[in-house]
Amino acid sequence: MTPDTIECPKAFAVRFKELDRWDVTSFHRIKWHWPERAMVPIGSCLRLRKERVDKAALKFSDLQPITIHFDGSVDKRVVHGRREYSMDLWFARPGDIVVAKIDLKNGAVGIVPWDWNNVVVTGHFAVYEPDRSKLIPEYLHRIIQTKFFKAHLWRNKVGAEGRKEVKLDFFEEQRIPLPSLAEQNRIVACWRQAQNEIAAGRQRTKTLQEKLPDIVYSQLGTPHPIADKPTEKYLVVSWKDLNRWSFNYLSRTAQGLLGFTQSKFPIEPLGNHLLETMNGYCIKPVPERTQQRMLKLNALQPDGLDLAASKFIKISDKIAQRFSIHKGDLFICRSVGSYELVAKCSLAKGDVPNVVSPDTMIRACFQETLLPEYVAEVIQTPLGRSFFQSNARTAVGMWKIGAEDIWGFPIPVPPLVAQQQIMRRMAAAHAQIAHEREAAKKLEKDISAEIEALILGTKATEREVTLHEIHAT
C-alpha cells in the first residue's frame, strides 16, 4: 500500500524507498478522480520566464511592480516617481503566472492581467509562461485556490521555523488533471458564473444594509444628508462662530455633517439621558488560555457584540467586575487608526462577567428614557457617525473621540412608545438582512464544493453545470 492509494487513514505502512520526505504531514495526498492519462506535472505546462529588466534602458518610474495576495488576486504597488532600484527586476508579461515564493504555501499565485504593461517583480517571485496549447491559466489558478490544494501546499512547506516555504521544484512536480481545453473552459466558465451569483447575493445584503438609515430618518422626520456634497475650497467663518479650530471640523460643518439638526422630535444632548460613560481597561493579552477575555475592536458589529472576537488576559476579580459587560451597555470605538471606524458601536445583548472592554472603547449606560438599542441605531446612521467624525482629533496616526463628544451628541428623543415602534421596524429589517446573509453564505459554500468537485473529478465536467443544479442538489 502506498500513500497514493489512501486518503487519510489513522494507520498505514510505507516503504522507505517510497518516501520523499520524513514528515507525517506529507503522507496525506490529494485523491484525484481522474484517469491516470489525464494527470500531468504542473511544470510540464509552464516555462520559467527569466527576462531581466535593463536598468540602462528603463527607469523605475516606467515599470509597474506588483504584489500577489493569498487569494491569488494581483495588485499594483504604488512607487515613487523619482525612485530608482538597486536590485534585479524581472518582467512578467500579460497572461503570465506569477508565484510569490515565500507565500506559495498560502496559495499566493496570480495571473498578470492582459491590460497591464511593463509589470516587474523581484527575485522573490517566479514568473511562468503557460503553454496555452495545453493549459488555460485561469484553470490552474482555480486548482491552486481550492481548499484541498492550498492545504496540500501548506503541509509540504520546508525550511527553518519561521521561514518555511514551498520549493518551486515541489510545486512544478505536483500532478494535476489536465482535461481538454474545452473542459478547462467549462470549469472556468462555471466558476465565473458562480462568482457573479455570489456577488449578486452580497450586493442584495449590502443594499438592505444601506436602507437601514432610511428607516431611522423617515421615522424621526430627518432629511437625508447630502453625502456627495463637495468640500468648498474656501471657507469664511466669523471668529465668534468657531467652536473648534480644525479644518476637518470646519469643512464638515459647511457640508452639514454635524449630526442631527432637524427632527419632528426634540433634539437633546445624549448626556441628558446618560447614567455614565467609562473607558475600557488597558492590558496586554497573554498567549495561554485564561478565565478572562478582552474584546477586540472587530467585536463591534451592527447586530451586536461578537464575543468570539476577543483575546485572553489576566486580571483580578475586582477589575473584571468593574469592566465586565452588562446587558444594555453600548460600546463605542473611541480610538482607532481608520477614520471610517470612528464611533463604530455595538450593543451588549446580555451579561458577560468574564469579558471586559478595552481602552479603545467607551462604555455608555443609559437612563430609562432612552432605549439603548435605539441609541445604537441612531449613532450607526451616516448622520450620527458624521457628528463624531467631525469632532475626531488625530495624532500619530490615531483618530480619537472623548466622553465629552458622546455626552454632547445631539439625538432626537421620541417618546418610548415611538422608540419601540422604530426598533420593531429595525428588527424586521435586521432579520431580513440576516436571512440574506445566511443565504449568501450557503450559496458560496455550495458553489465552492461544486467547483472543487469538478476539479477533483468527482463530478463530470462534460455536462453543463448551472447554478440551478447547485440549488436543486
The gap from C-alpha 301 to its chain's centroid, in whole angstroms, comes to 14
Rounded CA separation 286/353 (Å)? 19
**Enclosing H/E stretch for 99:** strand 97-100
By the 10 Å C-beta count (0-12 exposed, 13-18 middle, 19+ buried), 50 is classed as exposed
Q: Look at residue 447 in the predicted model and tell me its pLDDT.
A: 86
Q: Look at residue 391 in the predicted model and tell me its pLDDT.
A: 86
CATH fold for the domain made of 227-259+266-413: Adenine-n6-DNA-methyltransferase TaqI; Chain A, domain 2 (3.90.220)
Per-position b or e across 52-91, b if 16+ CB within 10 A of its CB: ebeeeeeebeebebbbbeeebebeeeeeeeeeebeeebbb
Rounded CA separation 101/304 (Å)? 41
Q: Look at residue 55 in the predicted model and tell me its pLDDT.
A: 82
Residues 146, 172: contact at Cβ < 8 Å?
Answer: no
Nearest to 209 by CA among 11, 443, 469, 437: 437
Q: Look at residue 19 in the predicted model and tell me its pLDDT.
A: 61
Q: Phi then psi for 165, rounded to 5 degrees? A: -150, 165
Give the three cell numbers for residue 215: 428607516
Angstrom CA distances, 77 to 52, 119, 194, 196, stand at 19, 10, 29, 27
Q: Look at residue 225 in the predicted model and tell me its pLDDT.
A: 73
Per-position b or e across 306-326, b if 16+ CB within 10 A of its CB: ebeebeebebeeeebeebbbe
End-to-end Cα separation, the chain, in angstroms: 35
Per-position b or e across 10-29, b if 16+ CB within 10 A of its CB: eeeeeeeeeeeeeeeebbbb
The gap from C-alpha 71 to its chain's centroid, in whole angstroms, comes to 11
List of E strands, 245-371: 267-269, 274-279, 292-295, 300-301, 304-305, 310-313, 324-325, 330-333, 335-336, 345-347, 352-356, 361-366
**What is the secondary structure of 52-68 as a DSSP string?**
B--TTT--GGG-EEEEE
Is the pTM above the cut of 0.85?
no
List of residues 6+ apart from 456 with CB closer than 8 A: 30, 31, 32, 33, 148
Nearest to 225 by CA among 217, 233, 215, 235: 217
Q: Domain map of the chain by residue range?
A: 32-178, 227-259+266-413
pLDDT < 50: residue spans in the chain: 1-7, 228, 461-473
- 32-178 with 227-259+266-413: one CATH topology? yes
Residue 99: strand pairing partners: 109, 126
The gap from C-alpha 361 to its chain's centroid, in whole angstroms, comes to 21
List of residues 6+ apart from 125 with CB closer than 8 A: 68, 90, 92, 98, 99, 100, 101
Nearest to 384 by CA among 392, 375, 394: 375
Rounded CA separation 46/33 (Å)? 23
**What is the secondary structure of 135-172 as a DSSP string?**
--HHHHHHHHTSHHHHHHHHHT-BSSTT--B--HHHHH
Question: For the CA atoms of 465, 197, 450, 180, what is the dihedral angle to 10 degrees?
Answer: 50
CATH fold for the domain made of 32-178: Adenine-n6-DNA-methyltransferase TaqI; Chain A, domain 2 (3.90.220)
Residues 269, 408: contact at Cβ < 8 Å?
Answer: yes
Q: Is 275 helix (H, G, I), strand (E, B) or coil?
A: strand
